[in-house]
Each structure stands twice: as C-alpha cells, then as structure tokens.
Amino acid sequence: MSSSLTGNNASNSEESATSKQGDCQDGSKDAGNSSVVENHYNSIEERGLGHRNQSTILYLRNFNNWMKSMLIDEYLGQVTSHKKQGLPIKVLDMCCGKGGDLFKWKKGNVNHVVCADIAANAVADCQKRYEDLKSKNKYMFSAEFIVADCTKELLRSKYKDPTVLFDLVSCQFAFHYCFESLNQAETMLHNVADCLRPGGYFIGTIPNAVDIVGRKRKAKQNWFGNRVFTITFEDDLPEPYPLFGAKYNFHLHEVVDCPEFLVHFPTFERLAAKFGLRLIKKARFQNYYEEMKRKGESLLQHMSALETYPPVNGKLVGPRSDYTDAKEYFREFPGQKYIGTLSRSEWEVCTIYIMFAFQKVNPGEVINTSTKKMTNVSC
Ligand SMILES: C[S@@+](CC[C@H](N)C(=O)[O-])C[C@H]1O[C@@H](n2cnc3c(N)ncnc32)[C@H](O)[C@@H]1O
C-alpha cells in the first residue's frame, strides 16, 4: 500500500497573525480555566479498544499517535547517540494523560519516567497502564506519578529525587493550556527547564495559532469546523488578540471539549529562551509527516495510522464525499490498487497541529532568538 495524504495546506503566515496581536499582555484576569480543563479530563471514561475501533476519528487518533512516535523516536535517538553507554535515560512526560506514550518510552529503552498531569483520574489510569505493562514485560523502566497543575505548581519538590536530571521533557497535545496567562506559561517553562540536562530536549505538539486564526478569518464568523471538530471563539475576545488568554473552545468528537489558548509562537520562543531553551525545530504536521513517512512507513501500517482506500471491507469512517482527493489520486495513478489516506474531516483536524523541539543550552549561554540556528522551520 502506498501512503498518500491529501488536503489543503493553510497558507497564513506567522506575520499576519502577529500583526493582529497586541503587545505582551497577561490574560490572568481570566485565569480560572485550569479547573475546567481538569474536570473535563477527569471525566473522560476509558471505553476500551472496541469502542475506539468504532470511532469516526479512529485514523486521526492513530495518525496523531504515529506522529508522537516519530517525534519521540527522533529525539530519544539524539539522546541515546550522545549518551555514554550504561548511563540511565530519564524522561519527564508532562501532561501525560492516561499514559498514551508509556509504550513509546518502553520501546525507546528509557530507564525512568516521571508522569505528571492535572487530572487525578488520568494519572490513576496512567499508573494502572504502567503496572499492566510492567506485569507483562521482563524489563520495564521505573516510573513515578504526580498529580499537579504544571502551570501553577513547581514540580521539582514533588520528584522522588529533586536532583534528577532529565534527558528529555515531552509535552504532547497540552502545552497550549499554559498560554492562559504569562505566569502560567512561565511556570510551565520553569518546570520544563528546571531539571533538564544541558543538551537535553523539550519536545511537544500544539495547535498552530496562525492556522486557527487564518481559518477563523476565512470562515467570517466566530467558529469553524466540520463533522468531527469545532473551534469556537467567544464574541467578546478583543482584537488584536492578547498574547495570553486568547481563549477558544475546542470540541473534538468524543474526545475533547474544553477551553484552549492560542500559542503565539514567537512569544513562546522568546519565553523559552529566557529558560535556556533554544528552538531547533518546528514543523506543521503535514510537513513532519512528509519528512518522516519513509522512515516510519512500517509503523504507519502497524499502527493503522492511515485508512485504506478503497475500503477492504466496504466501510469507511467518513462519508464518501470525504474521499474525493483519494479518488482523484487513482485518476492520476491508475496502476495503483490501494492508498493510505485520512478522511477530509480528520485531515482538517490534524493539519491544525505543529511539532516543536527545543534544546537546553549550557548555563550562561545566551540565546539570540532572531539569529537562531534551526535544522528545519517549515511553518
Ligand atoms: C489532549 S490530552 C494529552 C495527553 C497525553 N499527553 C497524550 O498525548 O496522550 C491533554 C492533557 O493535558 C493535561 N493538562 C491540561 N492542563 C494541564 C495542567 N495545567 N497541568 C497538567 N496537566 C494538564 C490534561 O489533564 C490532559 O491529560
């Protein structure tokens, strides 16, 4: 099966979004959303694999999971290649949720993982999952589990070993929650950098504010979306948008329904620099997919990260109208029998996201954000 993804690339520049945003403003006057987010994630029930396989966003979830696998693999690979053999690899999984990445840490042969999240139920599920993996595997990394608001509490004193040095900090699909206020973003970044070894990496995935603002403008109303997701802005959000507290509601079918905040990336980059974190890579999901698809081809298939078109059992997760690009592909390449794709609705969600990677510099090293050295900046 060949792999092909189809869809539109939003072409809004960072500049067009920044020009609409005001000077650094702290949106802390509206800083009461952590508990809404916490309650939301605490209330998500574990519905099992059977339910997941029926989901209309099955492939989106698998695809996002594949993206995380590739990102983690890329930077754990960097860590491993620079690490003296025998020295333990330690990871902070910030906003770990129910432990969706535990198996990735296992596969990456890490030695210790600290899992932290604001939602106690999610952390309990994560710990259960860990114990389950441990009971089935001869070798398993050690782990600790912390319930904490990573945007408001300092994590170091909660670690079993407060002198721990992490090789990698990972924050997947969650960093945007800290852009509720400047204080929260700073506390989050303090937690990221505090125990990260110089040379270590901070990696993550967040919605792309440029893309969101562009799509909202195109929609000419305060919301946009499709049959699987909606993003809704409040009518009274001032324009230009504040740099912090630019709130919208994200609804993703059966998975998420809570407030999120636009992450103004240049501000994120400048704040991160204050904590000794230099941006080394940033890419839209569609571009990171293009970069990684060869290397991750067998994993794409193994994780069912793309839907086979035409469907082998006659069933697609979306309506036929969501697959016009896939159909078009066969007109262009009539020799092909099957391709891997995503329904248009799922593709419109995953292309909202970007991946990022920062590296911790040596103490005292100055980061000039305007002359940064980046391996790849494709958005
Ligand atoms: C979309 S889930 C992602 C979970 C996990 N990282 C993954 O990729 O599977 C977002 C997670 O962020 C957590 N979260 C949101 N705000 C947080 C905060 N202020 N402190 C710690 N965790 C937070 C939520 O409880 C939720 O588990």
Name the residue among 85, 58, 89, 88 with its Cα closest to residue 72: 89
pLDDT of 27 reads 43
Question: What is the distance in A from the centroid of ligand 1 to the CA of 374?
Answer: 27
What's the whole-model pTM score? 0.90
Ligand-binding site membership of 184 (annotated): no
Q: Which residues line ligand 1 (CB under 6 A)?
A: 34, 37, 41, 95-97, 100, 117-119, 122, 149-151, 172-174, 177
User: In this predicted model, what pLDDT tens digit does every residue of 203-252 receive, in sequence order?
Assistant: 999 999 999 999 999 999 999 999 999 999 988 888 899 999 999 999 99
User: In this predicted model, what pLDDT tens digit does every residue of 349-376 receive, in sequence order?
Assistant: 999 999 999 999 999 899 988 644 555 5
pLDDT of 377 reads 47
Ligand 1 atom with the smallest distance to the CA of 184 is 19
CA dist., res. 201 & res. 16, Å (int): 29
Place of tokens 């262009």: 332
The overall average pLDDT reported for the chain is 88
* Region label for 339, one of left (φ > 0), alpha (ψ between -120 and 50) or beta (otherwise): beta
- How confident is the model over 278-290, as a mean pLDDT? 98
